[in-house]
Chains A and B, each alone.
Chain A
Amino acid sequence: MDNNIRIEVKDVNFYYGKKSALQNVSMDIKKNKITAIIGPSGCGKSTLIRLFNRMNELIPNTKMEGTINLDGENIYSSKIDVVEVRRQIGMVFQKPNPFPKSIFENVAYGLRVNGIKDKKYIREKVEKSLKNAAIWEEVKNRLFDNALGLSGGQQQRLCIARALAVEPEVLLMDEPCSALDPTSTRKIEELVLDLKKKYTIVIVTHNMQQAARIADYTAFFMMGDLIEYDITDKIFTKPSKKVTEDYITGRFG
């Protein structure tokens, strides 16, 4: 197996009830790279990354076919513990969703639910995660204030810190900047570029400039089909398919 591949998607189909959302998707996600997933609304991009940490199982009446391997192991095998999968794959959602708890408790949450009780370790880990998410300086004097008092951009970085605290290998980001202003967006983008050193990042975005700015690889989806998947530069300069070109030049979508 190629050592540079972290996630291997093989012949994946996904259905909401009878409606097909993904058809025959196969792609490899490379280690320590940023992979962007772009495409018009409803093309299945969020559905796809929510398959990587088995989040779609929370939605009733859905069906998944095919395999998804994380480091060579099929996460959909009946022997796999879904809780363990989700611990290894962190996720940041479209809308910042901190818990209605203190900033500290938000970051400590993942540690606590995974059975860590050592207070000193938790304290250090919270600080480190907040630093890694580039929000420590802004919150260090109010760690015990309610997280809902932060701005949207701060909340989203807090959610990133929360995801980092459990030391995942992969970080999934589902349109993390869609609810944020340009300044916050820039901060998150800088952060994502920085996190690439340690994590494999898959980011869904409807913002093509964002994909062009930060992603190493870009996958273009349309109506549940993977149309084109290549190095970002190539997708944005010399796409091999006509629809990709139409989309990135803004002719539709």
Chain B
Amino acid sequence: MRKKIGQRIGFSFLFLFLLITLLSLGTIIYFIVAKGAGAISWQFLTQSPKDAMTSGGVAPAIIGTFYLILGSIAFSFPLGLACAIYLCEYSPKGYIINIIRISINNLAGVPSVVFGLFGLAVFVKFFGFGVSILSGALTLGIMVLPQIISASQEALLAVPQSYREASFALGATPWKTIKKAVIPPALPGILTGVILSVGRVAGETAPIIFTAATLYKRGYPNSIFEEVMALPYHIYGLMTEGTHPAQQKEIAYGCAFILLVLVLSISFLAIIIRQRQRRKNG
């Protein structure tokens, strides 16, 4: 009987840890909703900031963040998937490929501010894109590239070899095998990587400080070569600069709330796409 008690205590501890995790998550969400939801209004969502960022809305920041997400994923998803396909399906296995794999994994651990500096040096200065949506989206895209490659690789490796053999045995070329027999069952896993990346792109501040973001901009950007407002940087600005901390704090929580909703809804959309794909795969 003593063994059973030991087990029970063990599992109680595991449950306790789960509770602590859920509690902290819940608290974060509660605070943001409690403090931020009140700021949300039609005007807040559709207008530009007014009176030195103490009133008005944050529409340009929402749009800016949206552009940055779109741009960075449009860049990093095809590139990352292509890298993963090459690494898993085409490249000869061996020592060099292993080094490349390890390097990619290490790249995922590089602090985001380093990517920001890289973006400043390469996209803003060297390519001359300036502080712009383009520079920011590319910087963010490069930041999440390792994550997308790793997730895609894992998803591709999880596809049973028997699918590849069946396809080859029917006279399919390697490319058709990848396109029709390997990618479809791997897609849910690949999309999971993209979902996580969207969350990171939406929330990161450091990479866009030098490459894309501005604290205040009149109206909306007209081209990808303009700088933009973005939600995370707007929050940072509201909390560190300006002359009316009390009102600004309220707006900052409103921004945080929108950011949360934005990321959750994008994730939700991706989950729906993933579920549909899974159903198709059976």
Interface residue? B163 (CB, 8 A): yes
- By a CB distance below 8 angstroms, the chain A residues around B172 are 83, 109-110, 113-114
Q: Which of B163, B166, B170 has the most CB of A within 10 A?
A: B170
Q: How far is the CB of A232 from chain B (nearest CB, A)?
A: 26
Interface 9-residue window, one of A10-18, A34-42, A86-94, A182-190:
A86-94
Check A97 against B166 for contact (C-beta < 8 Å).
yes
Checking B165, B168, B176, B282 against A100 with a beta-carbon cut-off of 8 angstroms, the contacting residue is B282
Contact status A166-B160, CB under 8 Å? no
Min Cβ gap B238→A in Å is 49
Known A86-B170, A112-B180, A113-B180: A55·B162 in contact at CB below 8 Å:
no
What A residues does B163 contact at CB under 8 A?
Answer: 97, 99
In the bound complex, what is the Cα–Cα distance between A239 and B164 (angstroms)? 39
Q: Are A113 and B93 in contact (CB under 8 A)?
A: no
A interface footprint on B68-81 (CB within 8 Å = 1, 0 otherwise): 00000000000000
Q: How far is the CB of B276 from chain A (nearest CB, A)?
A: 14
> Given A95-B162, A113-B180, does the pair A53, B169 have CB atoms closer than 8 Å?
yes
The one of B92, B169, B176, B177 in contact with A91, judged by C-beta atoms closer than 8 angstroms, is B169
Whether the Cβ atoms of B171 and A113 lie closer than 8 Å is: yes
**B180 and A87 form a contact (CB under 8 A):** no
Q: Which of A97, A110, A163 counts the most B-chain CB atoms under 10 A from its CB? A: A97
Contact of A109 among B160, B170, B173, B280 (CB under 8 A): B170
Given A58-B164, A146-B282, is A99 in contact with B181 using a C-beta cutoff of 8 Å? Answer: yes
Which residues of chain A (54-105) have a CB below 8 Å from chain B?
55, 58, 60, 83-84, 86-88, 90-91, 93, 95, 97-101
Chain B residues whose CB sits within 8 angstroms of the CB of A100 once the complex forms: 184-185, 281-282
Contacts of B280 in A (CB 8 A): 101
User: Once the chains are docked, how many angstroms separate the CA of A90 from the CA of B281?
Assistant: 24
A132 to chain B, nearest CB (A): 16
Q: Does B55 contact A (CB under 8 A)?
A: no
Q: Size of chain B's interface in residues, with CB distance under 8 A? A: 24
Contact among A90, A113, A159 with B167 in the assembled complex (CB-CB below 8 Å): A113
Q: Does A162 contact B (CB under 8 A)?
A: yes
A148 interface residue, CB < 8 Å from B?
yes
A109 with B282: CB separation less than 8 A: no
B249-282 Cβ-contact flags toward A at 8 Å (1 or 0) = 0000000000000000000000000000000111
Q: A97-B162, A99-B166 are in contact. Are A60 and B282 (CB under 8 A)?
A: no
Q: Does A149 contact B (CB under 8 A)?
A: yes
- Find chain B residues with CB under 8 A from A163 CB: 169-170
A58 to B170, CA, bound (A): 14
A86 touches B168 (CB 8 A): yes
Closest to B180 in A: A113
Q: Which of B93, B165, B173, B184 contacts A93 (CB 8 A)?
A: B165
Chain A residues 126 to 162 lying within 8 A of chain B, measured CB to CB, are: 146-149, 159, 162
What is the CB-to-nearest-CB distance from B174 to chain A, in angstroms, rounded to a whole number?
A: 9
In contact, A86 and B184 (Cβ under 8 angstroms): no
Structural contact, A148 and B171, CB atoms closer than 8 A: no
Instruction: Look across to chain A and name the residue whose beta carbon is closest to the beta carbon of B92.
Output: A60
Q: Give the residue name and chain of the B residue nearest to A92 (CB).
A: B169
Q: How far is the CA of A84 from the CA of B92 in the complex (A)?
A: 23
Would B160 and A97 count as touching, CB distance under 8 A? yes
Distance of B273 from chain A, by nearest CB (Å): 17
Closest to A90 in B: B169
For window 148-200 of B, CB contacts with A under 8 Å fall at 160, 162-173, 176-177, 180-181, 184-185
Chain A residue nearest to B173 (CB atoms) is: A83
Which B-chain residue is minimally distant from A115 (CB atoms)? Answer: B176
Q: Which residue of B lies closest to A172 (CB)?
A: B169
Q: Which residues of A contact B93 (CB under 8 A)?
A: 60
Given A90-B169, A113-B172, A113-B173: A148 in contact with B164 (beta carbons within 8 A): no
Nearest 6 A/B pairs, CB to CB: A87-B171, A146-B282, A110-B170, A97-B162, A113-B172, A91-B169
Q: Can you list 6 residue pairs at the A/B interface with Cβ under 8 Å?
A: A58-B165, A90-B169, A97-B163, A99-B166, A113-B167, A113-B177
Extra 9 A-B pairs, beta carbons < 8 Å, given A93-B162, A98-B166, A109-B170: A83-B172, A86-B168, A87-B170, A88-B171, A101-B184, A101-B280, A113-B173, A146-B281, A146-B282
